[in-house]
Amino acid sequence: MPMQFRTSKHFILLFLIISFFFFAVSVEGKIYKIITADGTIHLTDNPLRKSFVNSRKAEYYSSKRKVQRDYNEEKFSGIIDDVAEKYGIDRDLIITIIECESGFDPYAVSEKGAVGLMQLMPETAKRFGVEDRFNPKDNIQGGVAYIDYLMNLYDEKLDLVLAAYNAGEKAIEKHKGIPPFAETKGFVKRVLSLYDRRKGAKAYIVRHNDGTILITNHD
């Protein structure tokens, strides 16, 4: 039975940072972040244990990549706070969407041509007055402006807002709801899952019999 911690987001962040340095001195000096298909996040010093991910597809990060991701999130927090206040959109929702869309890489480019932190397509950028999609401030401003528009359009039904953000309003209209696209359905599920866990601010510690330690946000 894992130990459960319920506390503020700041304490959880501090807890994970301390845990990061603890793991960093373990075997090979690395920790790994594993994101499973349902959005569950794990931190572990042993990425090879299949029981950690229940044989589901996972994504591995070295300790160096983990530090870089946290640095980027912190770097853009001021912009996110300002835009969140301007449009009245929950900053945690903005952060979660950026995490899912680009992993906080302002230079991310998708195969379809979406660009930047919030993965804006050219027509969306033009629609909301974004001149430079690679500019973090402009990109976040345009992305959140679009979210605000969709919130009003769909009466703040977040699943429809996210589906439209991913697939476009025409797809929602055509299918009279969330379109049956695997990418869109996966995006909606992942954002909602990570957003719910971010708001819940839970963390669990599991120590296995072989000494491996796991920190996870899933009980």
> What's the gap between Cα 9 and its chain centre?
15
Q: Which residue has the tokens 């601010």?
A: 201
Helix (H, G, I), strand (E, B) or coil at 8: coil
Residue type for 116, please?
G
Nearest to 52, CA basis, from 76, 79, 32, 81: 32
Q: Which of 73, 74, 85, 101 is catalytic?
A: 101
Burial 72-86 (b: 16+ CB within 10 A, else e): beeebeebbeebbee
Specify whether 101 is catalytic.
yes
The distance from CA 71 to its chain's CA centroid, rounded to whole angstroms, is: 14
Q: Are 176 and 164 in contact (CB under 8 A)?
A: no
Of all residues in the chain, what percent are helix, strand and coil, respectively (each to 5)?
A: 55, 10, 35
Distances (CA, A) of 77 to 48, 163, 180: 34, 25, 34
Active site residues: 101
